[in-house]
Amino acid sequence: MKVYKGIGKLENRPKNSVVTIGNFDGVHLGHQEVFSKIVQKAQRTSAGSVAVTFRPHPNFVLRPSAEPFLLTTYDEKIELIQAAGIQTVVEEPFSREFSNISPEDFIDKYLIAGLGAKSLILGYDFAFGKERSGSLDVMKKLADTRGLDLEVVPPLKIEGEIVSSSLIRKYLSEGSMQSVNRLLGREMSLKGFVWRGEGRGTGIGIPTANLLIEERKYPALGVYFTKVLWDGKELPSITNVGINPTFLSEDRAAPLKVETHIFDFKEQIYGDEITVKFYKFHREEKKFASVNDLLEQIKKDLLLAREFHNNKI
């Protein structure tokens, strides 16, 4: 797969391609359905398969918020699109100027002249351009007048729910990992480098790997049953997402931390990149009256996590 940081970076303009466009945050099962149709049609028509996405996410430009909401990092998204079989990804820099492109210019200058689009396959909720003027109805009319084949992929429903990034964010905020994973079609994961923390876990005999992670949407604060991918191995673990309230004084800031304890693991992994896969929410994070009370609870958590890994995964 080839990845281009904007249409202007393409080495050779395609002459025949099947194109889809979207943010594809999370690359959930609905997105995967679109990609599957793109790949199949490209194979049938001897065309190239192209996915156009944006960086940064348009919300960061048009509706900025201090709260992180990305389900995947930009690089993780590209990796997942690649895994879906797409040949070319154009990661277009998004700006207010770009958001004001008319639907006509977008189709003529970007999709046809720039990407050689012969077919478009779009999600049911697609809209583009100034004030979302490029609705599906508008895109259909423009495609018809230009001889473009346009297919709209209907919403994908799982257990009566329409799969969407916003619904996944909702479940993630609730810690409903089974629901998150069902809609993603895989285990939700956090990837990051292991950095040296304050050593409290080691001090009480339960060392943890502290993750340095890019800004994105985290699961609800609490303790989770997880697995760690490291050095080609998948290792059972238990992970806390939170602020360590037992050790936090009222006058201190509370940075969010992701700390995972890997069972029966003695390797030195500071500076290594690991991936933590989330399976099940176990309990909320809470402030304990003493470190001993915290340690007693952690021991119970570890026993239940081992039982989960032994019986459920």
Q: What's the pLDDT score for residue 182?
A: 98
Q: What's the pLDDT score for residue 124?
A: 93
Write the pLDDT tens digit of every residue in 171-215: 999 999 999 999 999 999 999 999 987 767 666 678 899 998 888
Does the fold of domain 188-312 match that of domain 2-161? no
Rounded CA gap, 120 and 141, in Å?
13
Residue with tokens 């931390």, as numbered in its chain? 257
For the chain, residues with pLDDT lower than 50 are none
CA atoms in the 13 A half-sphere facing the CB of 16: 7
Q: DSSP code of 22?
A: -
Domain spans of the chain, in order of start: 2-161, 188-312
User: 188-312 is classed in which CATH architecture?
Assistant: Beta Barrel (2.40)
User: 2-161 is classed in which CATH architecture?
Assistant: 3-Layer(aba) Sandwich (3.40)
Q: What's the pLDDT score for residue 250?
A: 62
- Number of Cβ within a 10 Å radius of residue 14: 19
